[in-house]
Amino acid sequence: MTSIAAARTEGWRRTLRDPALFATVITFLDGGQITLGNLVAILRDGNHRQAFWNSLLLAALVGLCGTGLGFLYAFAAVRANLSRAWITALDAASLLPLVSPPFTSAIAMIFSFGPRGLITYHLLGIKGFTVYGLHSTLFSETLTYFPIAYLTLKPILAAIDPNVEDMAFSLGSSRWRVFRTVTLPLTVPGLANAFLLLFAASLADFATPLILAGNSFPVLPTQAYLQITGLFDLKGGAVLSFVLLVPALVVYLLQRYWVSRKYYVTITGKVGALTTIKSLAPWARAPLLSACLLLAGVILYFYVLLFYASVVVALGANHAWTWRHYQVIFTEGLKAIRDTLAIAGAGMPLGGLYGILLGYLVAKKIFPGRQAMEIVSMINYSLPGTIVGIAYLIAFNDPPIVLTGTGLIIVACYVFRYSPTGIRATVALLQQIDPSIEEASQGLGAGSGTTFRRITLPLILPAFFAGLGVVFIRSMTAISATIFLVSINWTLITVRILENMTELSLGPAAAFSILVVVIVFVVIAAISGLLRRFRTPGALEVTSILGG
């Protein structure tokens, strides 16, 4: 690169402070010259084109199946007159995949249906069943991501006033007709949103296909990863992930400018008399619940299997009890555990603070360009992790800011990437606080500082905990972005699990996964406890610390 070209690159970098945007520019830079040649070269490769279409196909299928399952689940939860215990059970089952490392279900798939799988080989005695390919990737991703659809659809279904359905009944509609003409149309924007969320999640997931897709079904994120880690071709990886950027941005724009406008507000004035929900025919209840139970059962089975695999010598071959795998992860793997906890621990308060700070600035409309800031922070969130990871890698590889190889880059990546939950929770809470509440404080003689400290801050505290919780969970479980950022000095549990998987040491991988799930559960419980303790009866609520 000539010095002029280098200077030009540097200029570009200054203008593009956001690493993600920077990566997209890098793909077009060839010796400092903007060119489409990189892109054309990639697209000419049939293998890569195939991977592109495979990615889209997989994402679309995951979107469809996951949205279907999520709807089934949400419908059962809010429209089947279930008791509290039932709903808690459904919620718990859907929570498991959300707080696990992304390939837990993939590992369980291998254990069940792999070459020596418990179900295919041992139970059914099928020889030569290939677990690798579209079918199992789809199954595993659907199971992993359907809770997102569930969490998206549940509040929407719950918001449909049963009296509206009653009205349709009173006009002579049958149940099926009410469902078709009232309930479903009101849910359509939610379904679209859920589909897009799942589509994006699947598009970004590279861990599951890495383990389950095999050679016959290459997808883009995996290709990009292999390009960089296998062939040390940073630019090639960046170009591949740039290709991924196109559908990701389409999804993002659809969500932001189309779906968000389609939401119906069911205007019913005062909440009418409580009515029992009649949308579900009695005969349909049993099959619906059975389907949900089956799904919950599969999830539970996967986790029990994972635990079992972590305490036997070798699942499928030698089922003798042993703590060896845990000994391994607490000796050889101790560094990864320490590093992960250190990074998650550092990211947690930073992420919480960053979330409420930005949320406050956005909601209070204090500075110009806040919308741009909001969009940039959201893009950081909606882009596939592979792109973000590569972007951070490139952006902080050279002066002025060299962070590659440090723990700081991982912390920064988590804080910025997963801050939108905290930001959105803060904005949502602030929007719920009527301006008159702050005026009341002012009228009683309090200055703006006192009002913020004594009124506003306590009211947005739940958002702080939500933001902090999500950053912690993701720091423990995410891999797609940070796999490019780990180094000899700093490594992560999730990366170790992946290494274990590729080395076929499945026992330690299972033990690591169980450890992550346990830690995350303990921390979530602690945060919920804190929230309950600090939350006075009247304080506002954050709907879910995992939403979105």
Partner 1 sequence: MSAVGIRIESISKRFAHRVKGEVYAVRDVNLTVQPAELLTLLGPSGCGKTTTLRMIAGFEQPDAGRVFIGEQDVTGLMANRRNIGFVFQNYALFPHLSVFENVAYGLRVQRQSEQEIAQAVGDVLALVGLQGYDRQFPNQLSGGEQQRVALARAIVIRPRVLLFDEPLSNLDAKLRVHMRGELRELQQRLHITAVYVTHDQEEAMAISDRIAVMHQGQIVQEGTAEDLYRRPDSEFVAQFIGRTNLLSGRVQSAGLGGIELEVAGRHLRLSGDAARVTGGQIVRLVVRPEVIELRPADSGDGIPGTIASRTFLGEKAEYQVRVGADLLQVTSYNPVQRGLFSVGQPVTLHFPAEGIQLLPGGPA
What minimum distance in Å lies between the beta carbon of 531 and partner 1?
A: 13
Task: For residue 428, give the amino acid letter.
Answer: A
Please name the helix (run of DSSP H) or strand (run of DSSP E) that holds residue 320, with its range, or none: strand 318-321
Of 379 and 460, CB closest to partner 1: 460
What minimum distance in Å lies between the beta carbon of 433 and partner 1?
A: 9
Under rule CB under 8 A, residue 231 binds partner 1: no
465 three-class SS: helix
Of 71, 66, 51, the C-alpha closest to 98 is 66
Among 152, 386, 441, 477, binds partner 1 (CB under 8 A): 441
In contact, 167 and 129? CB cutoff 8 Å: no
Of 288 and 540, CB closest to partner 1: 540
Count the helix, strand and coil residues of the chain and give each as a percent rounded to the nearest 5.
Answer: 75, 0, 25
Token pair in block for residue 67: 């949205």
What minimum distance in Å lies between the beta carbon of 452 and partner 1?
A: 13
Q: What is the DSSP-derived secondary structure letter of residue 205?
A: -
30 three-class SS: strand
Of 385 and 462, CB closest to partner 1: 462
Residues in CB range of 332: below 8 A, 6 or more apart: none
Under rule CB under 8 A, residue 128 binds partner 1: no
H-helix segments, 316-432: 324-331, 334-364, 370-382, 385-395, 407-417, 420-432
Token pair in block for residue 337: 């555990």
Among 229, 450, 487, 502, binds partner 1 (CB under 8 A): 450
What minimum distance in Å lies between the beta carbon of 540 and partner 1?
A: 7
What minimum distance in Å lies between the beta carbon of 532 and partner 1?
A: 14
Which range touches partner 1 (CB under 8 A), out of 188-196, 246-254, 419-427, 532-540? 532-540
In angstroms, the CA 402 to CA 390 distance is 14
Under rule CB under 8 A, residue 449 binds partner 1: no
Of 332 and 439, CB closest to partner 1: 439
What minimum distance in Å lies between the beta carbon of 455 and partner 1?
A: 6
Among 368, 445, 488, 504, binds partner 1 (CB under 8 A): 445
In angstroms, the CA 501 to CA 490 distance is 20
- How many Cα neighbours within 13 Å face the side chain of 445? 0
What minimum distance in Å lies between the beta carbon of 358 and partner 1?
A: 22
Under rule CB under 8 A, residue 447 binds partner 1: yes
In contact, 492 and 486? CB cutoff 8 Å: yes
What minimum distance in Å lies between the beta carbon of 34 and partner 1?
A: 43
In contact, 231 and 45? CB cutoff 8 Å: no
On the 0-12 / 13-18 / 19+ scale of CB atoms within 10 A, 502 is exposed
What minimum distance in Å lies between the beta carbon of 483 and partner 1?
A: 42
Of 187 and 426, CB closest to partner 1: 426
Q: What is the chain's length? A: 548
Among 459, 466, 495, 531, binds partner 1 (CB under 8 A): 459
Each residue 469-488 as x (binds partner 1 by CB under 8 A) or -, in order, gives --------------------
Of 175 and 535, CB closest to partner 1: 535
Q: How many residues of this chain bind partner 1 (CB under 8 A)?
A: 22
Under rule CB under 8 A, residue 530 binds partner 1: no
Of 314 and 433, CB closest to partner 1: 433
Among 539, 544, 547, 548, binds partner 1 (CB under 8 A): 539
Q: Write down the residue that tokens 């952006």 correspond to.
A: 395
What minimum distance in Å lies between the beta carbon of 270 and partner 1?
A: 12
Give the dihedral sign, CA 285/60/299/124: positive
Of 41 and 457, CB closest to partner 1: 457
Under rule CB under 8 A, residue 536 binds partner 1: yes
On the 0-12 / 13-18 / 19+ scale of CB atoms within 10 A, 16 is middle
Which range touches partner 1 (CB under 8 A), out of 47-55, 286-294, 392-400, 448-456? 448-456
Distance of alpha carbon 195 from its chain centroid, rounded?
14
What minimum distance in Å lies between the beta carbon of 393 and partner 1?
A: 44
Under rule CB under 8 A, residue 271 binds partner 1: no
Under rule CB under 8 A, residue 439 binds partner 1: yes
Under rule CB under 8 A, residue 452 binds partner 1: no
Q: What is the DSSP-derived secondary structure letter of residue 482?
A: G
Among 116, 177, 319, 454, binds partner 1 (CB under 8 A): 454
Under rule CB under 8 A, residue 444 binds partner 1: yes
Among 125, 399, 400, 443, binds partner 1 (CB under 8 A): 443
- How many Cα neighbours within 13 Å face the side chain of 198? 36
In contact, 422 and 467? CB cutoff 8 Å: yes
What minimum distance in Å lies between the beta carbon of 456 and partner 1?
A: 10
- The answer to whether the bond into 400 is cis (omega within 30° of 0) is yes
Each residue 409-438 as x (binds partner 1 by CB under 8 A) or -, in order, gives -------------------------x-xx-
Under rule CB under 8 A, residue 142 binds partner 1: no
Among 128, 369, 399, 537, binds partner 1 (CB under 8 A): 537
Q: Write down the residue that tokens 């697209």 correspond to.
A: 43
Distance of alpha carbon 432 from its chain centroid, rounded?
26
What minimum distance in Å lies between the beta carbon of 466 and partner 1?
A: 16
In angstroms, the CA 202 to CA 198 distance is 6
Of 322 and 442, CB closest to partner 1: 442
Token pair in block for residue 447: 């200055």
Residues of this chain that interact with partner 1 (CB under 8 A) are: 434, 436-437, 439-447, 450, 454-455, 458-459, 536-540
